[in-house]
Structure 1
Amino acid sequence: MTYYQHTSNDFLKQYIRCFWWLDNDSSKNLNYTILPDGFFDIIVRFDNYKYQSTVLTGLYTKEVEVVISPNHQLFGIQFKLPAVEYVFYESIAPLLNSQKKLSDAFWNLNSFNFSENVATIDSLSSIISQEVDKENNLDHRKLHLFKLLSQTKGNESVSYFADKLFWSSRQINRYFNKMFGLSLKSYCNILRCSASYKDIKKGDLFSNQNYYDRSHFNKEIKKYTNHTPKKLSDNENDRFLQISVIPNE
C-alpha cells in the first residue's frame, strides 16, 4: 500500500487539512477502519488509475469499515469545517455518517492525471480557491470559533466557547446541528478523541487530553471508535488508518 499526504497552500489552510492519496498496489484486498477525526472529505475512486466516481462525505461519529481492492486507488481532499459554508455553500448535516455521489465533472475531477500528483494538487487548489467567497462575506465569529476548536482540540466546554465569542450556547448548537448534523459538544468530543490517537500510537493508554480518569478515557474512545485504546494501540495489520499514518517520533 502506498499512502501520502500533501498540505494545502497558505490561502486554503483554513479550509483544507490535506490532500491525500492511497494506492493498493498489492495483490490482495486491504481492510481498513476509518476513525472519527472531525473532518470531511471529497474522495475520488479509481480502478487501475481509471476514474470511477467522486463522493462527498459528511462528518463521522463512529468507525467506518472500508475494503480497497487490488489495483484500486483513492484520491482525497480532507476539509475543515469552514469549507462547508465558504467552499460548498451548503449544509453537510444530511451526510452525517454517510456520503453522496457527486457529478463526474465536479471540479473536473474526472479529467485530471492523478499520476502527476503535485501538478494536479496545484490545479485543484486553483479551482477551490475560486470557489471561496470572493465578496469577503466571512463571519469572523464563526472563523474564530473554528480557530479556538483547533487550538483547544475540543478540550473546553460549550460555555467556554460561548463566553469567548459572545454567542449563546443555544445558538452555537443550533448552528452546528444545522450545518454539520451534530452538537458542538459532540464535535468537541470527537476532536479530543482524535487528538488522542497520537498518544495511543505511542502506547500511552491514558491520553493527556483532559479526560477525567482512565475509565472515562476508555469509555469515550470506545464510544466513538468502537474499540478500546489498547486495541487501537495494537493496530493489528495496520487496520486503523489514522493511527497507521501518524508519523513515528
Structure 2
Amino acid sequence: MLDIDYQPAQGSVTLQNAYKVYVPPPPLSHWIHSFWQLDVPFGEHFYRSMPDNCVDWIINVGDIDDNVIVSPFLSSIEFPLSGPVSYFGVRFRVLANQGLIPHPIGEWDAVTPDTRSLELVSPSVFMEVFEGLQRTTSFSERCKYVGTALLREVKSPSVDRRLVSFIRYCLHNTESVIQLSDKQCAEFGVSARQLRRLTQLHLGMSPKSFSSVLRFQKTVKQLTQENQGASSWAAHYYDQSHFIREFKRFSGLTPQEFKRMSVLYNRQNRR
C-alpha cells in the first residue's frame, strides 16, 4: 500500500446537487482518492478542471464510447459539456493508478494517443464498471457497484520507493521552491537525472512541475476554505505578486476570480 496522504481540491460547483463526491473506505481508499459524479443540466456548459497531479477515469454514464483516462496536466482545462449528461469519475491517489493500469503514465501516448480507457483498462473491468453504472441512478449505489468491481481487480502497485520519498518531501516542503540538486536528490537515493526520468515516467511531468502543482493545490484548498485571509499565499510564495502570477499560470484565473466562480458554468455566464 502507498502511504501518501494528499488531498487535492478542484474548486466549487455552485449549482445545487450538480457535483457529488464519495470517499471509499479501506481497503479501496488505498488506491482511490474519491468517486465523483457531475450532473450537467440542459444547455451548453463548461467545466474548468484544475491541475492536481492526479489521474481521473471519467465515464459518460449514457454513452459507452465516451470514456477517458485523464493524465496529470499543468494548466487548467475547459471541457465543453452539452447537457443533460452525467459523468462518473474515479480519482486515483498519486501513483496508485498503477494498481489497475499496467502502463506507466509516460507510456500512455504510445498506447492510446487520445487516452481512451479501453486501451488502458482491461475490457472486462470496463464493462463491469459501466454495467454497474447502468443499474441505478443513485450515486451512492453506483459507488458501491464500481467499488466492488475495482476491488476485485486492483493490485498493490510496484513503485520505486525513491520516488515515494521525493513525493513525501514535496508534500512537506510547499513553503518554498524546491531546489533539486544532486545533493538534494541523493537524500532520495537518486541523481537529479534519475529523478527526472522517474517522474516523467510515473508522474507524467518533471520534478519541478510536480512540486509546483502541489504548492498550487495548497493555495487552492486555502482559498476554498472559509475564513481564509488575504495573506493565505504567504507561507508558499515570495510575495503576493509571485503568488498571483503562479496561481494564474496554473488556473487561468486570478485568486479572486477563482473564489467567485463556479468551476461548472453555463456558456452565457462564461467568465
Query: What TM-score comes out, normalization by structure 1 length?
Result: 0.79
Q: Report what 1:229 is aligned to.
A: 255
Distance 1:61 1:191 in 2: 11
Q: 2:216 aligns with which of 143, 168, 193?
A: 193
Distance apart, 1:208 and its partner CA: 4.0
> Does residue 121 of structure 1 match 2:136?
no
1:177 maps to which of 183, 200, 206: 200
Query: Would the alpha carbon gap of residues 183 and 55 (structure 1) be closer, same or farther in structure 2, given more than 3 Å must change?
Result: same
Count of residue pairs brought into register by the alignment = 234
- The match for 1:247 is none
Measured after TM superposition, the shift of residue 54 of structure 1 is 1.7
Q: Cα distance, 1:93 vs. partner?
A: 2.6
CA distance in 2, matches of 1:151, 1:88: 28
**What is the aligned partner in structure 2 of residue 162 from structure 1?**
185
1:32 to 20, 35, 47: 47
Corresponding letter in the other structure for 1:77:
V
Q: Does 1:93 align with 2:97?
A: no
Q: Residues 205 and 230 of structure 1 are in contact (CA less than 8 Å); yes or no, is this contact kept in structure 2?
A: no
Distance (Å, rounded) in 2 between the aligned partners of 1:126 and 1:156: 41
Task: For residues 32-80 of structure 1, give each alpha carbon's deviation from its aligned partner in whole angstroms, at most 9, with x where no partner exists.
Answer: 2111112110000134xx6452211111111111222222000001112
1:81 aligns with 2:83: no
Equivalent residues of 1:36, 1:225 under 8 A apart:
yes
Summarize the Cα distance change of 1:34–1:182 in structure 2 as closer, same or farther, 3 Å threshold: same
Structure 1: how far apart are the matches of 2:36 and 2:173?
25
Quote the offset at 1:149 in angstroms: 3.9
Name the SS of the counterpart of 2:253 in structure 1: coil
Q: Is the 8 A contact 1:42 1:57 kept in 2?
A: yes
Partner of 2:131: 111
Q: What's the offset of the Cα at 1:206?
A: 4.8
Q: Which amino acid aligns with 1:110?
A: F
Q: Which has the higher contact order (CA 8 A, sep 6+)?
A: 2
Cα pair 1:16 1:78 within 8 Å, conserved: yes
Please name the residue that 2:67 is paired with. Answer: 54
Give the secondary-structure state (helix, strand or coil) at the position aligned to 2:116. Answer: strand
Q: Distance in 2 between matches of 1:14 and 1:68?
A: 31
1:20 matches 2:36: yes
Structure 2 counterpart of 1:64: 77
Q: 1:195 deviation in Å?
A: 1.5
Give me the whole-angstrom Cα distance separating, in 1, the residues matched to 2:168 and 2:28: 14
The RMSD of aligned alpha carbons is: 3.0
Aligned in 2, Cα 1:220/1:137: closer, same or farther, shift over 3 Å? Answer: closer
Identity level (%): 20
- Distance in 1 between the 2:66 and 2:131 partners? 12
Contact 1:45 1:74 in 2 (8 A): yes
Give the Cα–Cα distance (whole angstroms) in 1 for the partners of residues 175 and 108 of structure 2. 22
Aligned counterparts of 1:167 and 1:66: Cα–Cα separation in 2:
38
1:130-149 deviation per Cα after TM superposition (whole angstroms, max 9, x unaligned)? 43336x85544444444444
Answer whether contact 2:163 2:195 (CA < 8 A) is retained: no
Q: 1:190-227 CA deviation, whole Å, 9 max, x = no partner?
A: 11111111333456365244211112111211221222
Match for residue 26 of structure 2?
Answer: 10
**Deviations 1:62-113, CA, capped at 9 Å, x for gaps:** 11112222220000011122224333121223568x8511237543222112
